[in-house]
Structure 1
Amino acid sequence: MSTTTLPALLKPARRLLLQRRIRIIVAITITYNVIEAIVAIAAGTVASSTALVGFGLDSIVEVLSAAAIAWQFAAPDPEKRERLALRVIAVSFFGLAAYVSVDAVLALTGVREPDHSPVGIVLAAVSLAIMPFLSLVERRTGTELGSASAVADSKQTLICSYLSAAVLVGLVLNLAFGWTWADPVAGLVIVVFAVREGLEAWRGDACKTPVSALTGERQVEACDCC
């Protein structure tokens, strides 16, 4: 087995600054996604939009992910909480995928037919503008801080950007051309992303680099299972 070379420790003042920045990003992410979830689920229910409801549920997953990070790093030893945090995120993704899959099938078979949703279009467009920025800031901060969880959460936020684009395309096609199938198909795109991210989160605790190693507190041996 090889030994991982660790980065130099950050100065205490810089580390505190980065940790504070992560907390601010997490707070913004939670606040925005709570609002996004309420609006998306409400608008999606009114319009019978599979993609929009799924988008709202994904926002709840984003909240759970950010909350898991906040909970994890509130502990004196964050590493002890990493396994449970990853499992919570993974299960949330699988639940999201199951719901959207069933709803999409109902829509494609004609049991539920989506209506137009201008509110959903605006919401998806706003999210597409905001999420990439939050993801970039969190990823850069997490990388410098050496936080595996923060970097992983930034990737999940980036996934939210992809989902925003998929939902936006589906809603616009339905509005412009009356392509009702575009909405559930966009919902199935969400399923693909959700399952992939869920599997990555579930496997993440089986072969992960401990937080203490990433932050430069100790060395670890390379894992042979990855």
Structure 2
Amino acid sequence: MTGEPREREPARVTCADDCCAPPASPPTARPGAERRAVLARRVRLLVAATIAYNVIEAVVAIGAGAVASSTALIGFGLDSVVEVASAAAVAWQFTATDHETRERTALRVIGFSFFALAAYVTVGSVRALLGADAAAHSTVGIVLAAVSLAVMPGLSYAQRRAGRELGSSSAVADSKQTLLCTYLSGVLLVGLLLNSTLGWWWADPAAALVIATVAVKEGREAWRGDHCC
């Protein structure tokens, strides 16, 4: 067969959430040094806010969980501890002048924190489903879950947006950790309300198992650095 050979089409790059898919229009130029400095400072401030809130959240949740014998509340408090570890890894990364040199280490810490969270939530959920604990009503827990459900989405969105513009996989990964905390807040709120009003003790641990599955997926992406290109 004669004729000029066809040019091979360039390979397409894809990822789980299409963050790496080729854009329809020409790619935007990388931010300049001044803009990158602004974005790095913004990430540091958002991380500091996340750490401060989660320290308070952990103390309140674990204390309320101990009083109410609630595995879900204690697990939620420990999730806050994991969130602090994840945010601290990003804060450590951005203390360096060239923060990109610490990207891989920060991602590994975030990935490990996702795995730890998934393991704890799974064990706690299975124990609750097997009837190991019968949680009492907790007004403090319900209020805490509602407040977290309102606060966390904004923090997650702001950090994810800044991290993507900056091109920082660790900042994006940590924003997903915060978003996962939002999901867990919703699960906790529904579980506590159903337990208090209808006596459906199994609702929270069953939904928490779904959260654990999502945590494993996000942990794998963070470990491989798939959150952003």
Give distance in 2, aligned partners of 1:108 and 1:177.
16
SS at match of 2:175: helix
Maintained 8 Å contact 2:152/2:179: yes
Could you tell me which runs of 5 or more consecutive residues in structure 1 were left unpaired when the two chains were aligned: 215-226
With over 3 angstroms needed to count, the CA separation of the structure-2 counterparts of 1:92 and 1:142, relative to structure 1, is closer
SS at match of 2:170: helix
Give distance in 1, aligned partners of 2:66 and 2:214.
22
Q: Deviations over 1:120-170 (max 9, x none)?
A: 111110011011111121122222223222222222212211111111111
With over 3 angstroms needed to count, the CA separation of the structure-2 counterparts of 1:165 and 1:154, relative to structure 1, is same
- How much does 1:174 deviate? 0.3
SS at match of 1:129: helix
Structure 1 residue 119 corresponds to structure 2 residue 135: no
Q: Deviations over 1:67-104 (max 9, x none)?
A: 11111122243333222222222222222222222222
TM-score (ref. length: structure 2): 0.80
SS at match of 1:98: helix
Maintained 8 Å contact 1:166/1:189: no
What is the one-letter code of the residue matched to 2:189?
L
* Corresponding residue number in structure 1 for 2:101: 80
With over 3 angstroms needed to count, the CA separation of the structure-2 counterparts of 1:193 and 1:178, relative to structure 1, is same
Give distance in 1, aligned partners of 2:92 and 2:40.
13
Residue-pair matches, total: 208
Give distance in 1, aligned partners of 2:217 and 2:202.
23
Maintained 8 Å contact 1:125/1:164: yes
Maintained 8 Å contact 1:143/1:151: yes
* Corresponding residue number in structure 2 for 1:218: none
With over 3 angstroms needed to count, the CA separation of the structure-2 counterparts of 1:196 and 1:47, relative to structure 1, is farther
TM-score (ref. length: structure 1): 0.81
Structure 1 residue 52 corresponds to structure 2 residue 82: no
What is the one-letter code of the residue matched to 1:202?
W
Maintained 8 Å contact 1:54/1:190: no
What is the one-letter code of the residue matched to 2:105?
L
Once the two structures are aligned, what percentage of the paired residues are identical? 64
Give distance in 1, aligned partners of 2:34 and 2:104.
29
SS at match of 1:178: coil
Determine which structure has greater relative contact order: mean sequence separation of CA pairs < 8 Å that are 6+ residues apart, divided by chain length: 1
With over 3 angstroms needed to count, the CA separation of the structure-2 counterparts of 1:53 and 1:197, relative to structure 1, is farther
- How much does 1:6 deviate? 6.3
The CA RMSD over aligned residues, in Å, is: 2.4
Maintained 8 Å contact 2:125/2:205: yes
- How much does 1:208 deviate? 7.7
What is the one-letter code of the residue matched to 1:114?
A
Maintained 8 Å contact 1:136/1:154: yes
* Corresponding residue number in structure 2 for 1:94: 115
- How much does 1:23 deviate? 1.1
Structure 1 residue 34 corresponds to structure 2 residue 51: no
